[in-house]
């Protein structure tokens, strides 16, 4: 176990408006440094990416991918899908959440998820397409179902270990 001899200040963004200093040990700092992907990243942006916390303020308000903060607060949290969940499930659920919970269409939601995760759009599309055995039309129809029953069935069949979490997130999207 490493010592906490090097406590360093890091900034967290809370409610998208106020920053708070926190203390981290050298292991956490090493974790953050290992995951920095470009010179402009801050500890906050690394944590947001690693914890799958979307930052909606990065998108222009007039963009088709924009989400106003009131809408963002109404969306179920992606943290309901455990960090240990397969990337395929996390990416699919994030696309579904954006499509159902905002005015973003599937194409823009896919681009948004890809950009946030710094992966190719095709990588995200592959998760809800080929890996689920669906065409984009079939996926669109499942996401458009008022009850999301077909999507729930398909996801729970593909990811049975996460069926409880899938049901919870989709239920919140149906209510919204």
- Residue 135 banded pLDDT, cuts 50, 70, 90: very high
Let me know if 147 is exposed, middle or buried by CB neighbors in 10 A (0-12, 13-18, 19+): exposed
Q: Kindly state the tokens that stand for 140.
A: 């669109």
Domains of the chain, by residue range, sit at 8-50, 76-175
Q: Is the pLDDT of residue 139 over 60?
A: yes
Q: What is the mean pLDDT of residues 25-52?
A: 76
Q: What is the DSSP letter of 76?
A: P
Q: Kindly state the tokens that stand for 5.
A: 């001899």
- Residue 53 banded pLDDT, cuts 50, 70, 90: low
Let me know if 127 is exposed, middle or buried by CB neighbors in 10 A (0-12, 13-18, 19+): buried
Side-chain half-sphere of 23: how many Cα atoms within 13 Å? Answer: 5
pTM of the model: 0.61
Q: Kindly state the tokens that stand for 45.
A: 């942006």
Q: Is the pLDDT of residue 62 over 60?
A: no
Say how far apart CA 176 and CA 170 lie, in whole Å: 10
Question: What confidence tens digit (pLDDT) does each residue in 79-129 have?
Answer: 467 778 899 999 999 999 999 888 788 999 999 988 888 899 999 999 999
């Amino acid at each position: 176990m490493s010592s906490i001899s090097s406590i360093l200040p890091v900034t967290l963004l809370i409610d998208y408006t106020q920053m708070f200093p926190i203390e981290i040990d050298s292991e956490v700092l090493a974790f953050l440094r290992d995951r920095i992907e470009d010179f402009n990243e801050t500890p906050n942006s690394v944590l947001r990416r690693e914890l799958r916390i979307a930052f909606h303020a990065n998108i222009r308000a007039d963009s088709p991918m924009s989400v106003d903060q009131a809408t963002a607060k109404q969306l179920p949290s992606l943290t309901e899908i455990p960090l240990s969940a397969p990337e395929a499930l996390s990416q699919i659920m994030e696309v579904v959440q954006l499509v159902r919970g905002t005015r973003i269409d599937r194409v823009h939601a896919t681009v948004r998820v890809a950009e946030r995760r710094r992966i190719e759009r095709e990588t995200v599309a592959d998760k809800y397409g080929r890996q689920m055995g669906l065409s984009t039309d079939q996926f669109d129809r499942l996401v458009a179902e008022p009850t999301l029953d077909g999507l729930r069935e398909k996801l729970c069949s593909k990811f049975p270990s996460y069926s409880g979490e899938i049901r919870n997130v989709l239920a919140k999207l149906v209510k919204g």
